[in-house]
Chain A
């Protein structure tokens, strides 16, 4: 046996058990759910029969699902860009200061490492209507009108999105800062000597060089926001997804279909639609955003 093939064999040996894991716990269940989504499987039914695309038709004509899908897209297409732009701004600020980078970064990462459930309940407490909510207390002190936040059909979704931005911000700015620190300082100096203004350096040198990182974060945050569940579950009254389903995400819809209505197959078809959307968004991002950068 050649050395190369022996090394390959070692690699496969190491990979065997983890691959069995991924097949049994990720791919297997996914294929199973895909198959079951064409049946009328439900916990309240004895037998499940093949019913073709009926679940998909039902789910797609369910106004609640369409609402949840629209909400999910709002979380992703508004929330993810906000967190990426804010994360970049913070990273640029951190890069500019001479002292205290580490301390600020430490503080900003704190929300990211704490359990989402706990964080959601803390924010829910702060969002309470007067006289209990501290945010409304501050608004009142500033002479501003009280917000309804989680209790209002218009404000529930942005309020929950804001919490997720708060959670992910430290993650994004940490990654951006690491990227900024790998950019050679000579590049900035060269641009400045050539007469570029600070703004030109930022938009023509720094941001283009950060493209691979921005791409990575767009994909990761896009997936993160499209899968949003725990925040919505914990921050809405009786985990229902906000007043009039105004904050309900697709993931929460799937959960409710499966564990409140026991319609497993319908939940399955809804989850496949969500998966297809996540994959489509990711592939589009990969196609348009992944431009190789060299320096």
Chain B
């Protein structure tokens, strides 16, 4: 009697797990299909893209050749721009955001809470409101046509500060106190005890602004647009796969109590 009850409970549990896998697989298709379709389209030429086959009948690299080597394509320049801006802002954000997170989590001083709240409250400001004054700053400082002009608004990220504070509060205070007792300077403690986590917000690695313009110009040349989208996404997907543990952990951490 008892064993049949157990069996039926187990059976129901297995059924539930099977249903969970089924639903998760459906979501997987929804999440992955756009990427698949983009990739597949990027290997099709103009005539094949109209055929609507899931895999290209005759895969071709022509679109990539066009994007990277055609004289009329400005993609290589955009790619370089994105890379430079991404590397510089990421380095800056990593340094300053972890520094801020560290100070706001491990120090006690008057005004700490209000400073933290002020920084986080900037997340509510619509970017469109700031763009106009930024433009005025660029003109006044004669930064026009420099990388710095695009980079300076993103040198510190408020979301990153929040994330880093969450992260730092998981590091035991004892560890830091021990380093202090050893007579290490505060900056040194920050640089050594505190590990660098890979990305505060991976989204800002590259901003392929060019893609928007390019897509506008390309009009209905969807095979070029999809190739451009693939090229814009690729570096991020590579970075994501390399640092997926840290990135997922970082995302998960934002929801924790601070």
Binding site for B on A (CB under 8 A): 4, 7-8, 10-12, 14-15, 17-19, 21-22, 24-30, 32-33, 90, 93-94, 96-98, 100, 104-119, 121-123, 125-126, 128, 131-132, 134, 137, 166, 169-171, 174-179, 182, 212-213, 216-217, 220, 223, 227, 229, 233-234, 238-239, 250-251, 254-255, 258, 264, 267-268, 271-272, 274-275, 278-279, 282
Contacts and interface: CB of A to CB of B under 8 A. Distances in A.
A109 B248 CA distance: 8
Contact of A258 (B38, B128, B156, B248): B128
Contacts of B31: 107-108, 110-111, 166, 169-170
Contacts of A98: 17
Interface string B110-137: 1010010011001111111111111011
Contact of B225 (A90, A125, A177): A125
A40 to B, nearest CB: 15
B57 to A, nearest CB: 16
B196 interface: no
Contacts of A254: 126, 128-129
Contact of B124 (A11, A174, A282): A282
A213 B255 contact: yes
A83 B216 CA distance: 30
B38 to A, nearest CB: 5
A178 B156 CA distance: 26
A113 B125 contact: no
A272 B211 contact: no
A267 B132 contact: yes
B226 to A, nearest CB: 6
A136 to B, nearest CB: 10
27 contacts: A4-B108, A8-B107, A15-B100, A18-B99, A21-B156, A22-B122, A25-B155, A30-B125, A30-B130, A33-B133, A93-B20, A96-B16, A108-B31, A109-B240, A115-B207, A115-B211, A117-B209, A117-B232, A118-B232, A131-B52, A132-B222, A134-B52, A216-B254, A229-B127, A267-B128, A268-B129, A275-B129
A29 B129 contact: yes
Interface stretch (B21-29, B60-68, B69-77): B21-29
B248 A11 contact: no
Contacts of B152: 25
Contact of A175 (B24, B136, B186, B252): B252
Interface of B: 16-17, 20-21, 23-24, 27-28, 30-32, 34-35, 37-38, 41, 50, 52, 96, 99-100, 102-103, 107-110, 112, 115, 118-119, 122-134, 136-137, 152-153, 155-156, 158, 186-187, 202-203, 206-209, 211-212, 215-216, 222, 225-226, 228-229, 232-233, 236-237, 240, 244, 247-248, 251-257
A196 B186 CA distance: 52
A8 B128 contact: no
A268 to B, nearest CB: 7
B226 A125 contact: yes
